[in-house]
Amino acid sequence: MKNNLKEIKICLAGNPNCGKSSLFNNLTGLHQHVGNYPGVTVEKKEGSLVKGNYKINVVDLPGIYSLSASSEDEIVARNFIIEQKPDLIVDVVDASNFERNLYLYTQLSELGIKVIIALNMIDVLKNKGQEIDCGLLMKSYGILAVPTIANKNKGTEELIKSVIDVYENKIDIKNTKIDYGDFISGHLQKVESIIYKDILLVAKYSVRYLAVNLIKKDKFVLEKIEKSTVSEELKKQGFESGDNISDKFSDSIDSVFADKIYTWIHSVSAIVIRTVAKSKYDVSDAIDRIVLNRIFALPIFAFVMYAIFKFTFTLSAPFVGWFESGIEFLSGYADKIIPEGVFQSFVVDGIIGGVGGVLGFFPLILFMFFAIAFFEDTGYMARAVFIMDKFMRKFGLHGKSFASMIVSTNGCAVPGLMAARTIESEKDRLITLMVTPFMICGAKLPIFALFIGAFFSAKDGANVMFIMYVLSVILALGAAWILKKTILKGKPAYFIMELPPYRMPSLKGILLKMWERGFLYLKKAGTIILLVTILIWAGLSFPKMGGEKVDNVSEEKAASIQIEQSYIGKLGNLLEPIIQPIGFDGKAGIALISGLAAKEVVVSTLGTIYSLGEVDPEDASSLSEKLQQDPDWNKLKAVTFLIFCLIYLPCIVAVAVFFRESGSKIKWLLFLTFWTTAAAWVISFIVYQGGRLLGFGG
């Protein structure tokens, strides 16, 4: 029996997020498999279904807005349709965005293959109080549109039936031929009459498609006609027509055509879309009208971020103070009860001085995560990505890259890097991977809090933090722009985000998120940070100096000689010539290197170093006070240090994830290492030396 089945080859085309995948699943059920189109990473989904005497093979094309071939997805979709010649195209149209979606329909219509519209999301349209008259679409335009609600599997059977009927010519549908007006039509006819001279071309391609795109100087079409017997004549006429049309309308040829298409689309929708009820008043829409407003969107976003930092820094300050006092007390207490010696130093300088320094900022972390969880749960963070999408396009990036950056800021670069997986274009993904580590993740936060607390007044703290945050975004965008202009050239693909409705967040939900992320911080402090701190402490305490070298000097001097002569101290001395031009001493160098294990370790290492250097536990002070008192530091150096921390190589875990996500290529790993280190040094150099020239920082 099976052999008697008639095979019908169809493909699903449509804008991203119009419900194509849902419809594909409705049609094919489990009979599908996913692969890649040859040579590119674009997904290729195929499946089939049997209906009566027919076997329908379905290909789900990538989501696209047009066939202008400005992205890999568009090229794949166009090549598939033109070269594989399906029997039918099902154009999935999001009815609630009818006009925008119809653009692709007009382009598909030109390809010379019958197109059926699956008019999806009619439930959404209905909620807007509107309806589309499918009968009229058929009667006036010969367009067959089958209403569907793909996520509820409604309309699928009707669609299948329509596919078969159209295939068997039981329904007569007409592909739309846009009326481009007399002037353009005249030129199209001239070009088409030449195409008709070459029978091979006519047999293989849609004449209208060739003519329109020849006039548009489309590369793909130029290639296709290259071997034609009339190729020279065609090109000459095509280009001449293109120039004439451009001149006549004094606009680019693409705009002229797009204009005509939209005129047609407006006239169609004016007739077939009906308002039948008052649109339900939508609070989310009302808020979005302000929040996503062309002019206010960016300032509001900046204000929200500012509010987050203000909230975090101002409200957490007393708690951080208490934590620090508690840790100082603990340190003094341990000093008293443990007899002087290596073990005392291990506990006081190593564990309490190091890990304690990181734990002191735990309240700050909680406040930060609380504020961020609040905006995430309201639905605002999704808007932030949407807002930044437009902005990022100017830098050749899209909003998905910003999504990675936000995830990184909201906690950790690792999930941020993994979020980049959703970016289809390999180049865009690589760029995103390269710049996401610049963001101030939860682990870098304590470094910023420490130095800002030490060198800026409480009043300025949140402002400086905000500036640092803005700087991190500027750095990431700038870096992306440079990459895009140099080694990773290409146009960003369009993407449409679905915005969830605004919701009043629940306190429980926020606290839960805050705790989940906060707990990770504690866990890290008790594991990797503790471990590295112990190693750092040991490296600073051994080999032990003794004898005459330290006999005749003050205790303070002896402590600093000990540090200098230790294993790690020697490493610091080696580093010094490299980092002196950017204002750092060996201590800073050691902290930066140890920070590769985990960024919080920068703080714990400084904690251990300063704790070891301190002789009198009676006047124990917090780490930020110690930094303040150290003549090797000043405001300018602190700012330079923070900028260096923004840019230099991410922690080892993030680097490992980067390696995996970038396709496990050593080349990219080396590139990341070199590029972040070099950029960190160069920019720090400019900031530090520039600052000194301007008279900052003594």
Q: Which residues bind ligand GDP (CB under 6 A)?
A: 14, 16-22, 63, 120-121, 123-124, 149-151
Which is closer to ligand GDP, CB of 24 or CB of 380? 24
Contact criterion met (CB below 8 Å) for 82 and 110: no
Counted residue by residue, the chain has a size of: 698
123 contact choice in ligand GDP, Mg ion, none (CB below 5 to 8 Å, kind-dependent) = ligand GDP
Contact predicate 615/604, CB 8 Å? no
Stretch that binds Mg ion, among 13-21, 175-183, 230-238, 511-519 (CB under 5 A): 13-21
Q: Please state the closest distance from residue 685 (CB atom) to Mg ion, in A.
A: 47
Measured CA distances, 493 to 112, 217, 253, 294, 397 (Å): 26, 21, 22, 21, 9
**CB under 5 to 8 A by kind: which of Mg ion, ligand GDP, none does 26 bind?**
none
Q: How far is the CB of 488 from Mg ion (least distance, A)?
A: 25
Shortest distance (Å) from residue 125 CB to Mg ion: 20
**Contact at 8 Å (CB) between 617 and 332?**
yes
Minimum distance of ligand GDP from residue 645's CB (angstroms): 39
Report the nearest approach of ligand GDP to the CB of residue 140 (Å).
25
Q: Name the one range near Mg ion by CB under 5 A: 17-25, 177-185, 305-313, 480-488.
A: 17-25
The residue (of 43 and 240) whose beta carbon lies closer to ligand GDP is: 43
Contacts of 229 (CB under 8 A, 6+ apart): 197, 198
120 binds, among Mg ion, ligand GDP, none (CB under 5 to 8 A by kind): ligand GDP
Query: What is d(CA 325, CA 221) in angstroms, rounded to the nearest whole number?
Result: 73
Q: Could you tell me the smallest distance in angstroms from the CB atom of residue 20 to ligand GDP?
A: 3
Question: What residue number has its CB nearest to Mg ion?
Answer: 21
Q: How many CA atoms lie within 13 A of 605 on its CB side?
A: 28
- Measured at the CA of 135, the angle between CA 64 and CA 273, to 5 degrees, comes to 60
Q: Which of 9, 21, 48, 391 binds Mg ion (CB under 5 A)?
A: 21
Residues 265, 103: contact at Cβ < 8 Å?
yes
- Coil/strand/helix, residue 439: coil
Q: Which is nearer to ligand GDP, 149 or 191 (CB)?
A: 149
DSSP string, 492-528: PPP--PPPPPP-PPPHHHHHHHHHHHHHHHHHHIIII
CB of residue 620 to ligand GDP, shortest distance in Å: 57
For residue 103, how many C-alpha atoms fall within 13 Å in the half-sphere facing its CB? 15
Cβ closest to Mg ion, residue 21 vs residue 634:
21
Closest alpha carbon to 640 in 598, 573, 589, 569:
589
In the complex, the smallest distance separating the C-beta of residue 44 from ligand GDP, rounded to whole angstroms, is 14
Cβ proximity to ligand GDP: between 13 and 672 the closer is 13
Nearer to ligand GDP, 61 or 406 (CB): 61
Q: Which is nearer to ligand GDP, 17 or 344 (CB)?
A: 17
Secondary structure element (H or E) that encloses residue 582, with its range:
none
Q: Which stretch binds Mg ion (CB under 5 A): 2-10, 20-28, 70-78, 261-269?
A: 20-28
Residue 18 or 477 having the CB closest to ligand GDP: 18
Is the CB of 97 or the CB of 151 nearer to ligand GDP? 151
CB of 35 to ligand GDP, least distance (A): 17
Q: Which amino acid is at 524?
A: K
Select from Mg ion, ligand GDP, none the partner in contact with residue 149, using the beta carbon and a kind-dependent cut-off of 5 to 8 Å.
Answer: ligand GDP
Cis ω for the linkage preceding 543 (within 30 of 0): yes
**Among ligand GDP, Mg ion, none, partner that 314 touches (CB below 5 to 8 angstroms by kind):** none
Q: Does 689 bind Mg ion (CB under 5 A)?
A: no
Residues 6+ positions from 416 with CB-CB distance below 8 Å: 404, 405, 406, 407, 408, 409, 436, 439, 441
Q: Which of 144, 103, 149 is nearest to 122 (CA)?
A: 149
Contacting positions for Mg ion (CB under 5 A):
21
